[in-house]
Chain A
Amino acid sequence: MVKAEAVHKSFGRLEVLRGIDLEVNPKEVMCIIGPSGSGKSTFLRCINHLEKIDAGRLSVDGELVGYRDRGDKLYELPDSEVCKKRSEIGMVFQSFNLFPHMTALENIIEAPMLVKKESRATAEARARRLLDRVGLADKVDAYPKQLSGGQQQRVAIARALAMEPKLMLFDEPTSALDPELVGDVLDAMRGLAEEGMTMVVVTHEMGFAREVGDSLVFMDAGIIVEAGNPREVLSNPRRERTKAFLSKVL
Chain B
Amino acid sequence: MLLLAFAGIYTVVTAPLLHWETFWQFLFQRLILDGVRLTLVLTVAAMVIGITLGVVLAVMRLSPNPVMSAVSWFYIWFFRGTPVLVQIFFWFNVAIILPYVGVGIPFTHFGISVSTNVLIPAVVAAIFGLGFNEAAYMAEIVRAGIISVEHGQTEAAQALGMTRLQVMRRIVLPQAMRVIIPPTGNETISMLKTTSLAFVASVPELFTRADQIANSNFRYVELLFVASFWYLLMTSILTVGQFYMERYYARGAQRELTPTPFQRLRRLLFTFHVPGPT
Instruction: Contact check, B163 vs A95: say whether CB atoms are below 8 A apart.
Output: no
Which residues in A have their C-beta under 8 angstroms from that of B160? 86-87, 110-111, 115, 159-160, 163
Interface residue tally of chain A, by bracket?
20 to 34
Interface residues of B, dominant DSSP: helix
**8 A Cβ contacts from A89-136 to B:** 89-91, 93, 95, 97-102, 110-111, 114-115
Which residues in B have their C-beta under 8 angstroms from that of A98? 156
Closest chain B CB from A115 CB (angstroms): 4
Closest chain B CB from A48 CB (angstroms): 6
Instruction: Contact check, A144 vs B252: say whether CB atoms are below 8 A apart.
Output: yes
Residue-wise, chain A 69-96 has the 8 Å CB interface mask toward B (1 for contact) of 0000000000110011011111101010
Instruction: Contact check, A84 vs B252: say whether CB atoms are below 8 A apart.
Output: no
**Distance between Cα atoms of A159 and B162 in the complex (Å):** 13
Closest chain B CB from A81 CB (angstroms): 10
Q: Which residue of B lies closest to A98 (CB)?
A: B156
Instruction: Contact check, B255 vs A145: say whether CB atoms are below 8 A apart.
Output: yes
Instruction: Contact check, A79 vs B159: say whether CB atoms are below 8 A apart.
Output: no
Instruction: Contact check, A100 vs B163: say whether CB atoms are below 8 A apart.
Output: no
Q: Which residue of B lies closest to A146 (CB)?
A: B255
Q: Is there a chain B Cβ closer than 8 Å to A22's Cβ?
A: no
Which of these, B150, B156, B159, B174, contacts A101 with CB under 8 Å?
B174
Q: Is there a chain B Cβ closer than 8 Å to A137's Cβ?
A: no
**8 A Cβ contacts from B123-154 to A:** 150, 152-153
Closest chain B CB from A102 CB (angstroms): 7
Closest chain B CB from A84 CB (angstroms): 7
Which of these, A50, A80, A99, A100, contacts B158 with CB under 8 Å?
A50
**Distance between Cα atoms of A157 and B184 in the complex (Å):** 37
- A100-B162 contact in complex given A93-B152, A93-B156, C-beta closer than 8 Å: no
Which residues in B have their C-beta under 8 angstroms from that of A111? 157, 160-162
Q: Is there a chain B Cβ closer than 8 Å to A143's Cβ?
A: yes
Q: Is there a chain A Cβ closer than 8 Å to B120's Cβ?
A: no
**Distance between Cα atoms of A223 and B150 in the complex (Å):** 30
- A99-B162 contact in complex given A110-B170, A145-B254, C-beta closer than 8 Å: no
- A84-B161 contact in complex given A102-B252, A145-B254, C-beta closer than 8 Å: yes
Instruction: Contact check, A100 vs B175: say whether CB atoms are below 8 A apart.
Output: yes
Which residues in B have their C-beta under 8 angstroms from that of A95? 152
Instruction: Contact check, B162 vs A89: say whether CB atoms are below 8 A apart.
Output: no
**Distance between Cα atoms of A91 and B160 in the complex (Å):** 8
Instruction: Contact check, B155 vs A83: say whether CB atoms are below 8 A apart.
Output: no
Instruction: Contact check, B153 vs A87: say whether CB atoms are below 8 A apart.
Output: no
Residue-wise, chain B 238-258 has the 8 Å CB interface mask toward A (1 for contact) of 000000000001011111000
Q: Which residue of A lies closest to B160 (CB)?
A: A111
Instruction: Contact check, A163 vs B163: say whether CB atoms are below 8 A apart.
Output: no
Closest chain B CB from A44 CB (angstroms): 11
Instruction: Contact check, B163 vs A50: say whether CB atoms are below 8 A apart.
Output: no
**8 A Cβ contacts from B154-198 to A:** 155-164, 166, 170-171, 174-175
Which residues in B have their C-beta under 8 angstroms from that of A144? 252
Which of the listed residues B153, B158, B252, B254 has the most CB atoms from chain A within 10 Å of its own CB? Answer: B252
Instruction: Contact check, B153 vs A97: say whether CB atoms are below 8 A apart.
Output: yes
Closest chain B CB from A158 CB (angstroms): 12
Instruction: Contact check, A89 vs B159: say whether CB atoms are below 8 A apart.
Output: yes
Which residues in A have their C-beta under 8 angstroms from that of B153? 97, 99
**Distance between Cα atoms of A93 and B155 in the complex (Å):** 9
**Distance between Cα atoms of A143 and B254 in the complex (Å):** 9
Instruction: Contact check, A83 vs B253: say whether CB atoms are below 8 A apart.
Output: no
Which of the listed residues B150, B156, B255 has the most CB atoms from chain A within 10 Å of its own CB? Answer: B156
Which of these, B157, B161, B252, contacts A100 with CB under 8 Å?
B252
Instruction: Contact check, B252 vs A145: say whether CB atoms are below 8 A apart.
Output: yes
**8 A Cβ contacts from A143-165 to B:** 143-146, 156, 159-160, 163
Which residues in B have their C-beta under 8 angstroms from that of A146? 255
Closest chain B CB from A160 CB (angstroms): 7
**Distance between Cα atoms of A110 and B174 in the complex (Å):** 14
**Distance between Cα atoms of A95 and B164 in the complex (Å):** 21
Which of these, A48, A89, A101, A110, contacts B251 with CB under 8 Å?
A101
Which 4 pairs between the two chains have the least Cβ-Cβ distance? Answer: A87-B161, A97-B156, A111-B160, A91-B159
10 A–B contacts from the bound complex (CB under 8 Å): A48-B159, A50-B155, A83-B163, A86-B159, A91-B159, A99-B175, A101-B251, A110-B160, A144-B252, A146-B255
B-side interface residues toward A, CB under 8 Å? 150, 152-153, 155-164, 166, 170-171, 174-175, 249, 251-255
